[in-house]
Amino acid sequence: MSVTLERTDDGTVATLRFVGEHPLNVLDAETLEALLDRVREVAADRAVRVLVLTGRDDVFSGGADLTHLAALDDDAYRHYLATEYTLFAELEDLPLVTVAVVAGACVGNGAEMALCCDFRICDPAARIGLPEMRVGFVSPAQRLARLVGMGRAKEILYGGRLLPAAEALELGLVTAVAEDLAAETARATARYAAFAPYALPFTKAGVHRAYGVDGVGARPFDAHEQRAAFATFRGPDFVEGSDAALAGRRPAFTSRRPATTDLGGTP
């Protein structure tokens, strides 16, 4: 996977691009770590006013690679989770305007990463969703619920539904849908780069605090989602769901509900 960071000549707009050879541009642990390093580089550069996050020209990301996940032991998966959630939090907290530019599939933790951005611009063929439930895995819920509301979030998450670009726009999940992504991105970033760069971080922080997002380490739902992810990673549904997905068949879930969802402790 190639992870690159480029800046405009005046340094106000940075583009973070991740491009891999896998058909779905999936995210493994190494890619997450490289993205986190580049996000931290942007955070340290006070000249940057806008960050554009994008994948390949034909696909944003299909999310996690099930083959990669299945090969991880418990410690490696804990590291994967910690890296993933640190990336999400630090991307979401960047004191500047962030824009995900989405072509094609934007799925799983790829979609969650896009939801960490302030705005999302998609092409008409984009499909966005958190389909983890289809393979018996817990879906991250907090960002989707904040954007579309509890009822809509449940309807989308329980069945692992992928939203076409037009519906995502109607729900407010994306900011714009454009045939010419490059032209729309150029227009949007020019407008965002003209925003007051000293005042904007205070405004962004105020909006985040209003929704309980108050800096890295102050996200109470992150700990629950990581514990739930670890529980379902070794749970019977994900064993069946991942086997079915890799074999190209429909899963047959035969498990019973857990005794409790209060997992306590750390992953």
pLDDT tens figures, 137-171: 999 999 999 999 999 999 999 999 999 999 999 99
Q: What is the mean pLDDT of residues 129-142?
A: 95
Q: Find the domain containing 50 and state its range.
A: 2-193
Higher-confidence residue of 214 and 120: namely: 120
Write down the catalytic residue from 84, 132, 184, 225.
132
Q: What is the mean pLDDT of the chain?
A: 94
- Domain assignment present for 242: no
- Domain assignment present for 19: yes
Asked if 84 is an active-site residue, the reply is no
Number of domains in the chain: 1
- Domain assignment present for 173: yes
Q: Count Cβ neighbours within 10 Å for each residue of 213-244 and write b for 16 or more, e otherwise.
A: beeeeebeebbbbbbbbbebbebebbbbbbeb
- Domain assignment present for 15: yes
CATH of the domain at 74: 3.90.226.10
Task: Give me the pLDDT at residue 262, please.
Answer: 85
Q: What is the mean pLDDT of residues 239-253?
A: 94
The reported pTM is: 0.94
Task: Give Cα 254 to chain centroid, integer Å.
Answer: 30
- Domain assignment present for 208: no
Task: Give me the pLDDT at residue 217, please.
Answer: 52
Answer for the pair 139, 157: CB distance below 8 angstroms, yes or no. yes
pLDDT tens digits along 50-108: 999 999 999 999 999 888 888 899 999 999 999 999 999 999 999 999 999 999 999 99
pLDDT tens digits along 166-221: 999 999 999 999 999 999 999 999 999 999 999 999 999 999 999 888 765 557 77
